Structure 1
Amino acid sequence: MRYPKTRTLAVVAATLLAAGCGADDAAAPSGAPASAGGSADPKVNVAYLSYAYTDYVQAEEEGLKEAVGAGGSVRVFNANFDAQKLLKDCQDAVSSGRYNAIVLAPVDPATGKPCVAAAAAKDIPVVTVETVVGDDPNALEPQVDGVVGAVAITPDRNAEPLLQLLQQACADVNPCKVIGEVAAPSDPLTARVVERVKEMPNVELVQTISTGYDPAAVAKAFPDALSANPDAHVFLSIADSQALAVVPALEAAGKTDQVKLIGNGGSRLGAKAVADGVLFGSAGNWPRQMGAKAGQMLQQAVRGETIEQPGVDALALAQPLTLTKETVGEFKPEWGAERSGG
């Protein structure tokens, strides 16, 4: 699940990470060698090369730190959704000699390849998180030499819980008119959901809005979409924060009871909104566990051990996956701010 610079934490991080500084700069080794020089238990010093630094990525970082232990280190590099900056950060990390492991969350599956190649040339193992690196965005097993593992959410897998929630929301309506959302028409993760919605027999996708994961953008676009489709039944969003950003428009139109809202990500804010009945549902994500799993893989790789399961479905790390008012009480959110008043 991806949350761009509109997140408050990401704005703070943009300042902290300026000029290539990592989010965990103080904890990173200062000129330390990449390995323990023949130690039976080499320390794992991780460069986490991320598309951005958000509260979701922060949770991954926390899990990663826990996995590598007090003897290791983690430094996050923030590319701020710039594929070229991510590649430069990768090249700098590889050439520095300070890191013997890389976690990579690329801007998209294709643009991660040059980074993996640079790491492979120095025998630095790479584990990808959130998305994969390679030509097939739905393949969890490593596709590129140098990638030793992936803890990812593939487009098809991401769509499954959202379609289940949509089916529930549309159970008593035929046709069920849906306003959909994508980050961008070319974004494989969110565009795949819309493609699958079109295949549902009782659902009519009346409009799709493109918002770049920006709550301000969806808040601006949604009133026009609602005006053009006054009989819409569901807004199928790409993130909890996006879904909640349209609540004022629904209130102004007097349609809070008519239009059901489906978010994604299982944030603390989203889980609270589901429990309160503001959101019809959301899909669970577990970024802290994702980071921990990536760290465990890198520990094995640095020690020369075999990684038995190199492709991990990040949506199978815990339960429940589909969050509704009936199931959200069993869910433990791992990221995001608490909702005001919660």
Structure 2
Amino acid sequence: MNIFARSLTAGLLTATALSGTAMAQDFEVAYLSASSANTWLATSLTEMRKVAEANGIAITEFDGQFDPARQTAQTQDVIASGRYDGMIIASINGPGAVPDIENALAQGMKVVILNQVVGTDLTTSEPQVEGISASVLVAPYRSGTRLGDMTVMACEGIDPCEVAYIYGIKGTPLDTAVRQGFDDVTGTHANITVIAEGEGKYLGPDGGIVATQDILQVNDGFDVMVGPDQAIQGSEIVLDEEGMLDRVKLIGFGGSAPAFAGIASGAWFGTVMGAPADEGRLAMEAMVDALTTGNAQGGIDALSAMPDDGKVTAGNVDQFTAQWDG
């Protein structure tokens, strides 16, 4: 196990710190981004550039604009060009990306997966294509189990504990896996029941405002509200206006700056940490190592090395720093 890729406290790699016949500055890497406009991935790219610059690596970004066909064409062009030694991909279509990644590996390129699962198993961070150097992401199912753990904490001493659950985008493989992890944890606690659902999207508080208003029309007696940070920002606004903020515990997932502000003010119970900066740094460190030594890191969950497995509450918030604005 390579300490550079596994440690969240390690400094930037230098070319002389790595063994092997090739030096990092001999290489060029393509970064296939799901979206250059996405603030999460922009944070990851900032850290990737730092590591690349420290090692003299040239990195070129390709903007997929959340269009699977566009990203597929970009990936195929990168491979066909013969210009790049490595490829880091934040996939838009995980299962659909597998053939092109297999082709890249067959051409001798090093491949690192960032943020999104490439494959069909959403329960693991481990690579699902043989030959991948590293897969740096939090498996959606693990996000769900962490969310479930936090809900169990919030419901301690409350019986029954009624929960309103807000999806990001209901029905997508990612959100289905998150919910499955959540249910597998909370389902073992007889006091916890999900009594209402909504859909907030991942685009800011507006979706959470609408989802929360809709839920309140059906049931306003819940004790806990759970959802993506962006949606919970909207929930906070609505519940505050309704005078309910002091009796409903808000739990987000994403670990954004607004979530940290909510925890600090007492408006939120907690959030599941998000680590786009760490993921970007770890991905490029793994790429440098793969290119210069041939090492493969396997699956890397950036939250596993954090305090309390990345579950942030008022009791430990001072041990974390938000890595994105949400």
TM range (shorter): 0.7 to 0.9
Q: In the aligned structure 1, how far is the partner of 2:224 from the partner of 2:133?
A: 40
CA displacement at 1:136 relative to structure 2: 1.6
Question: Which of the residues 214, 218, 224 maps onto 1:228?
Answer: 218
Q: Where does 1:47-86 land on structure 2 (aligned, <5 Å)?
A: 47-53=30-36, 54-70=38-54, 71-86=56-71
1:43 matched to 2:26? The reply is yes
Q: Where does 1:136-285 land on structure 2 (aligned, <5 Å)?
A: 136-195=121-180, 196-197=182-183, 199=187, 200-215=189-204, 216-238=206-228, 240-285=229-274
Kindly provide the amino acid, as one letter, of the partner of residue 288 in structure 1.
A
Change (3 A) 1:90 1:145: same
- Residues 83 and 107 in structure 1, CA contact (< 8 A), matched pair in contact too: yes
Q: In the aligned structure 2, how far is the partner of 1:168 from the partner of 1:179?
A: 15
Q: In the aligned structure 1, how far is the partner of 2:209 from the partner of 2:286?
A: 40
CA displacement at 1:132 relative to structure 2: 2.3
Q: In the aligned structure 2, how far is the partner of 1:59 from the partner of 1:185?
A: 26
Relative contact order, CA 8 A, sep 6+: which one is greater? 2
Alignment match, 1:34: none
Change (3 A) 1:273 1:73: farther
Q: What TM-score do the two structures reach when normalised by structure 1?
A: 0.80
Kindly provide the amino acid, as one letter, of the partner of residue 88 in structure 1.
A
Please state whether the residue corresponding to 2:269 is helix, strand or coil: coil
- Residues 275 and 329 in structure 1, CA contact (< 8 A), matched pair in contact too: no
Please state whether the residue corresponding to 2:145 is helix, strand or coil: helix
Deviation per residue, 1:84-130 (Å, 9 max, x gap) = 12111212222334422111111243122133134224321111111
Deviation per residue, 1:10-60 (Å, 9 max, x gap) = xxxxxxxxxxxxxxxxxxxxxxxxxxxx96545332222122232211221
Alignment match, 2:90: 105
Q: In the aligned structure 2, how far is the partner of 1:145 from the partner of 1:51?
A: 22
Provide the aligned C-alpha RMSD in A. Answer: 2.2
Aligned positions, number: 298
Alignment match, 1:5: none
Change (3 A) 1:41 1:108: closer
Unaligned runs of 5+ in 2: 1-20
Please state whether the residue corresponding to 2:284 is helix, strand or coil: helix
Unaligned runs of 5+ in 1: 1-37, 338-342
Q: What TM-score do the two structures reach when normalised by structure 2?
A: 0.83
What is the aligned-residue identity percentage? 27
Q: Of Structure 1 and Structure 2, which has the larger fraction of its residues in helix?
A: 2
Q: In the aligned structure 1, how far is the partner of 2:270 from the partner of 2:113?
A: 28
Alignment match, 1:306: 295
- Residues 235 and 259 in structure 1, CA contact (< 8 A), matched pair in contact too: yes
Q: In the aligned structure 1, how far is the partner of 2:99 from the partner of 2:315?
A: 45
